[in-house]
């Protein structure tokens, strides 16, 4: 899929991995819709990028706001051809301790945003892509979702986050098979430890220790590296139904 001249939707596009992806796709010539809850950051990014970048406030768990964002992206020159889902939240808590069991509400919230929200964007974006005229190869669109190495190496206290990201990884192949006849590809990126707002609040020594735990390169991942992989997935037609770890060979310890 050509980035140049395509419409793109980036859910969670106002910061972190999503922001880097917005910048990469926009630089590549896509008309990008930035979908995020954070109005201040999202609008600021759209204003900075200028022509070819639009912001819309979106809650990925809400079908109405996601539909509005999809319609806006579909109205871009070339139609909606690229969808990237980066919206996500984290929660840390053990399943059971002396003071009681893991709270149910945060578990449900993490599943709702990370897994149901990703599916919500995927299903609505794919439905819009069905309306696209196929390229010479028959391709109509590409959907890139975001899992995590926690889907495979979940740590103590990551039960909610790991379950949500394992769900995203698990739906990749059936989604790709489901949409193959329409010429829509689906891939997932499973990042390791990246420089994102989720880690920004940690003390610098903790961040350095996390980076040192990565075999090579021994540092935190850069959002631009995620964005470059997302762009490569878009461009490489043979990538389909795959979950790609982007982690510097990291395998997370139990804690």
Active site residues: 161
Q: Are the beta carbons of 241 and 187 closer than 8 angstroms?
A: yes
- CA separation, residue 150 to residues 30, 137, 232, 237, 240 (Å): 31, 35, 23, 27, 22
Find out whether 190 and 244 touch, Cβ atoms under 8 Å.
Answer: yes
179-205 burial, b at 16+ Cβ within 10 Å, e below that, comes to beebbbbbbbbbbbbbbbebbeeeeee
How many other β-carbons are positioned within 10 Å of the β-carbon of residue 51? 7
Q: Contacts from 152-158 at CB under 8 Å and sequence distance 24+?
A: 152/190, 152/245, 153/250, 153/251, 153/252, 154/252, 155/252, 155/253, 155/254, 155/255, 156/94, 156/254, 156/255, 157/92, 157/93, 157/94, 157/255, 158/92
């Amino acid at each position: 899929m050509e980035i140049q001249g395509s419409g793109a939707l980036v859910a969670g596009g106002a910061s972190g991995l999503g922001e880097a992806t917005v910048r990469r796709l926009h630089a590549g010539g896509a008309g990008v819709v930035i979908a995020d809850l954070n109005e201040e950051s999202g609008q600021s990014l759209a204003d900075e990028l200028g022509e070819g970048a639009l912001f819309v406030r979106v809650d990925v768990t809400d079908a109405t706001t996601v539909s509005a964002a999809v319609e806006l992206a579909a109205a871009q020159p070339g139609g909606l051809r690229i969808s990237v889902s980066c919206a996500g939240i984290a929660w840390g808590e053990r399943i059971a301790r002396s003071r009681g069991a893991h709270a149910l509400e945060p578990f449900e919230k993490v599943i709702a945003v990370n897994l149901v929200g990703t599916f919500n964007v995927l299903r609505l974006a794919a439905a819009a892509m069905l309306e696209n005229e196929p390229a010479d190869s028959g391709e109509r669109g590409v959907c890139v979702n975001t899992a995590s190495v926690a889907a495979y190496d979940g740590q103590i206290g990551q039960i909610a986050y790991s379950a949500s990201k394992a769900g995203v990884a698990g739906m990749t192949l059936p989604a790709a098979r489901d949409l193959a006849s329409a010429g829509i590809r689906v891939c997932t990126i499973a990042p390791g430890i990246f420089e994102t707002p989720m880690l920004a609040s940690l003390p610098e020594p903790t961040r350095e220790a996390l980076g040192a735990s990565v075999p090579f390169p021994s540092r935190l991942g850069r959002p631009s590296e995620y964005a470059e992989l997302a762009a490569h997935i878009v461009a490489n037609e043979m990538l389909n139904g795959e979950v790609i770890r982007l982690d510097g060979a990291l395998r997370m310890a139990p804690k």
